Structure 1
Amino acid sequence: MHTIGKAGAFGAALAASFAAAYGVGTAVGPVPAGPPPAAHAAHDSPGPGSGDGSGSTQSDAAVPSGPQSSEGGYTLDLRTPHLTAGRGADLRFAIRDASGRPVTAFERDHGKELHLIVASRDLLTYRHLHPVRAADGTWSAPVTLPAAGGYRVFADFTPAAEGAEGLTLGADLVAAGPYAPPPAPRPNTTAVVDGYTVALAGELRPGTSGELRLDVTRDGRPVTDLEPYLGAYGHLVALRSGDLAYLHVHPAGAPGDGRTRPGPTVSFTATAPSAGTYRLFLDFKHDGTVRTAAFTVRAGEAAPPGTDLPEAPSAPSAPAHDDTAHPHQAVWRK
């Protein structure tokens, strides 16, 4: 992983709007195009999140990206852009180089050659997948999308080519079926998932680093034996409303470093690139199962009174993945 303001996080995306509407029908039509991606800014100096808990200020010019399907001579070729809601299927895709050939050599990051995120445009469904690559460069991952509507698929990878940098590429995905727009997620600082309560403290601030602390309890008791998941006690993803910008954050410290406790608190240092509304997803592992707690926060904006309401139930957790150790840093994909 690279540091904030440098390419190298794993990628995903947010809905174009918390209240995106598709209408009710027997099938979902084309997904409306999001706003054009922002121009890439120069890479900044390293930021917080390297494990020492120190903070630094990120330049306002560091504009995240992620909406594009092609960048740096590489293209995400999504071969299954349409699925049926509630029906399991293999999500298939390839990464193609500038000549159109499938890429078959990748650098390993967090124990994987490629990470995949699927997020619904209503922000209620979130999947962190680890697909398998065939010899011909075709990737596949089984997935079941619970509801009809628009989704965004994001692949994070680093080609094993000289001078290649980490990339996050995205593509639209539609799940067909009857669709009724759900309520938009409201701001919240407490999430409940599978009997666990996760409380969020701290502030996500635009243009400057801040600490986010998440405390995990179960049946009112602090969870002090969190298990490493991909080499950390927690992973935090922030999705920005409006432009599909995505932030992946790792906590300060690492399991086995002699000073990082396995709960109940997992702390992160992160910087929002702008004011706005963000959806946060915390992945944590306990009793052999990875669970996801979701929050909605505003960066640089005052929250209306009385909006700290119970969160909608989190989506079912994905199966546990490889726990290979990795450095703990935060990046806005650029």
Structure 2
Amino acid sequence: MSHDRLLRALKREPVDATPVWLMRQAGRYLPEYRKLREQAGSFLDLCQNPELACEVTLQPLRRFPLDGAILFSDILTIPEAMGLGLHFVAGEGPHFHHPVRTPDEIAKLRVPNIEESLGYVPAAVRLIRRELDGKTPLIGFAGSPWTLATYMVEGGPSKNYQHIKALMYNAPDAMHQLLDILARSVAAYLNAQIAAGAQAVQIFDTWGGVLTPAAYREFSLAYMQRIVEQLDDAPDGTKVPVILFTKGGGPWLEAMAATGCDALGLDWTINIDEARERVGDKVALQGNLDPAMLYAKPEIIRDNVADVLKRFGNHPGHVFNLGHGVTPQVNPDHVAALVDAVHELSAR
């Protein structure tokens, strides 16, 4: 790598400036993305076409001096490969034609064959790595078993998690069966991305924060730990850093750090200095500017970037990011202001 600042920070090694990448850095806030999305026909067509996924992945790197590229895909590719009928409803987001809500429906699920049903993802990874040509590291990702299960059982987004929590409390054995299938699927999926060239991977646990502390450990964290333990090294034998991100996971940082992961992603509801005090130098920390800060004026963005950097302090192991993804209404110039502020202020 000619530019390995991100990988060094994830390994808690010294860097010349704090690396920065953004969740959803490729997406709807960029006009070039919206144009390509219209040409592609649908969001799924974008995800399932390696050439288009490569192009979307590279778009933000042409605009901003980001320290990492993240594969353009979706966390719900695995349930789609299981035959649940993923589709997207305008104004509502992802939905499934065939949600699973009973033990009998869960018993019929199988771990998908990655090459047969998800081969477009490692194909995109190989293409992106070729296009990056060693200039920027590539991050692969997957959804956590709990988060995937939430969408699969609810059938789409939810405000009260009625169906998934009813299943969890009324039929815990079936819930564990579903999570076991998903954990094995996610591990195989991430290993396929690693074999294809992903140089770091992140597990997105978007809905872990809706659980009680006991339920989080039993139904979310335990399965993420299984995945971490099953991940392969890169083809050249080097260890691939693993980032765990639980939205709302502030109460459980110590337990998350004990999984064997290399870094924790933080949302914006905890100060990064408090997080570092709690986990020490056991893992790197990623985050954690409020995504809504990108609606602010550039000078205010800069001040808040400075605050996050100051709170983390002059220690190795910080990757700057938002506390969640870039939203569609953000002005790209404000993203540029953030990236420039991170590099300039941290280098000082």
TM-score (norm 2): 0.26
Higher strand share: 1
TM-score normalised according to structure 1 size: 0.27
Q: Which of structures 1 and 2 has the larger relative contact order (alpha carbons within 8 angstroms, sep 6+)? A: 1
More helix by share: 2
